[in-house]
């Protein structure tokens, strides 16, 4: 038996890594009223009078320690004292320049997508998109925005996609993994149709505006529980899209599951294929085995990267999912940020490294030229 390969070397990783496309960077509002310049006066008055109508167990406040401080790395606060991710100059210095970022995809989490008042939510999502352009993409060509939409207002969401689709500032449509109903339901189909029509991929980021408890047993006691079960919503949404026939009706649709890990993908696929073979008469719009659609229509981001005890197991995961289906992400500036020179502790060929860090995302997203 040959000797085991030495552990990956961080310095050699950095030297051999291609310029990076980061699939998950979170911009933040510098202050509570940063969207006001992009909102009609009626909505500014509404927010001043009633607030943003946060719909959830946390009632508009961050629960310790999840949002303390700002879900961020402690070194990510810019010199001006504003929230991490809000200052473009500091984002350039600490992230884009420091890690040789060629392109970075922005995914705002700014409490705009709120199902309690869908008219307000649609207006705030549009304002978020205007803000992304003004504050980031128009000033930094390495940054590309996501089209923020209110999924519960399909008509408004489609109008927003139509408004932004041809703009080179936007690389994808953004959805959360927690919606009011399973995302494969008919009420959401116009969103998928619009995305496919404009050849825009959809990024499903964990979390979302739903106020339902994240577990069937209710709200968890601890942050570690809440943080972990977020991946369950991604699994549920993927199953919903497959079984409701989304990928059969919209075969050119591209989906990326963001920040949900990926170790669950093989067992999820095996189990769903087995169930489909036994109960396929129940889901006539799912014509092929679920694995067919996962391999054709679905991508995954690497953050948070799984960390098995045996490093060879990580490579086997990539081999099963496909090196061409994995896109690197950092989750900057959040506390569980993955440093591109330290993440993925396994040996990669130059071709594999090029795919994960650059080429897969380059082919997946829109308007990266």
Placement of tokens 């050699």 in the chain? 12
> Is the residue at 330 inside a domain?
yes
| CATH number where 332 lies | 3.20.20.140
Contact present, 122 and 156 (Cβ < 8 Å): yes
Q: What is the pLDDT of residues 313-367, one digit of tens each?
A: 999 999 999 999 999 999 999 999 999 999 998 999 999 999 999 999 999 999 9
pLDDT score at 225 = 84
Q: What is the pLDDT of residues 175-195, one digit of tens each?
A: 999 999 999 999 999 999 999
Q: What is the pLDDT of residues 273-306, one digit of tens each?
A: 999 999 999 999 999 999 999 999 999 999 999 8
**Token pair in block for residue 349:** 């060929």
Is 108 exposed, middle or buried (CB count within 10 Å of its CB: 0-12, 13-18, 19+)?
A: buried
Q: What is the pLDDT of residues 195-242, one digit of tens each?
A: 999 999 999 999 888 878 888 888 888 878 888 888 999 999 999 999
Query: Which residues sit opposite 147 in a β-bridge?
Result: 173
> Is the residue at 4 inside a domain?
no
Over range 97-108, report the average pLDDT.
96
> Is the residue at 13 inside a domain?
no
User: By residue range, what is the domain housing residue 241?
Assistant: 21-364
Mean pLDDT of the chain: 91
Provide the percentage of residues in the chain whose pLDDT is more than 70.
91
> Is the residue at 9 inside a domain?
no
Cβ neighbours of residue 87 closer than 8 Å, sequence gap 6 or more: 30, 78, 79, 80
pLDDT at 11 over 50: no
- The Cα–Cα gap between 83 and 91 comes to 11
Among 342, 340, 348, smallest CA distance to 314 is for: 348
Domain count, the chain: 1
> Is the residue at 16 inside a domain?
no
> Is the residue at 42 inside a domain?
yes
Query: For the CA atoms of 217, 218, 219, 223, what is the dihedral angle to 10 degrees?
Result: 20
> Is the residue at 191 inside a domain?
yes
**What's the whole-model pTM score?**
0.93
> Is the residue at 10 inside a domain?
no
């Amino acid at each position: 038996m040959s000797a085991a390969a030495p552990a990956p070397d961080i310095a050699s990783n950095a030297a051999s890594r291609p310029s990076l496309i980061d699939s998950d960077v979170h911009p933040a509002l510098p202050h509570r009223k940063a969207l006001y310049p992009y909102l009609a006066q009626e909505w500014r008055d509404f927010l001043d009078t009633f607030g943003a109508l946060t719909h959830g167990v946390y009632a508009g406040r961050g629960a310790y320690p999840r949002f303390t401080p700002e879900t961020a790395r402690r070194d990510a606060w810019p010199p001006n004292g504003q929230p991490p991710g809000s200052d473009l100059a500091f984002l350039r210095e600490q992230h884009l320049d420091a890690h040789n970022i060629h392109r970075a995809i922005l995914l705002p989490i700014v409490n705009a997508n709120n199902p309690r008042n869908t008219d307000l939510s649609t207006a705030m999502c549009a304002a978020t998109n205007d803000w992304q352009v003004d504050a980031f993409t128009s000033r930094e060509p390495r940054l590309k925005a996501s089209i923020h939409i209110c999924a519960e207002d399909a008509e408004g969401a489609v109008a927003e996609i139509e408004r932004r689709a041809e703009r080179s500032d936007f690389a994808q449509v953004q959805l959360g993994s927690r919606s009011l109903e399973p995302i494969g339901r008919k009420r959401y189909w116009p969103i998928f149709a619009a995305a496919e029509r404009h050849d825009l991929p959809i990024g499903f980021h964990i979390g979302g505006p739903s106020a339902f408890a994240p577990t069937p047993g209710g709200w968890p006691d601890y942050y570690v529980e809440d943080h972990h079960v977020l991946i369950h919503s991604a699994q549920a949404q993927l199953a919903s899209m497959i079984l409701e026939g989304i990928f059969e009706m919209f075969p050119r649709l591209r989906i990326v599951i963001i920040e949900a890990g990926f170790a669950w993908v093989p067992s999820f696929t095996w189990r769903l294929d087995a169930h489909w073979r036994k109960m396929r008469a129940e889901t006539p719009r799912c014509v092929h085995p679920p694995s067919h659609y996962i391999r054709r229509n679905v991508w995954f981001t690497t953050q948070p990267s799984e960390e098995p005890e045996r490093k060879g197991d990580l490579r086997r995961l990539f081999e099963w999912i496909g090196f061409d289906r994995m896109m690197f992400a950092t989750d900057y500036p959040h506390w569980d940020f993955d440093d591109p020179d330290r993440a993925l502790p396994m040996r990669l060929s130059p071709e594999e490294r090029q795919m994960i860090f650059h080429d897969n995302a380059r082919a997946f997203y829109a308007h990266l030229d």
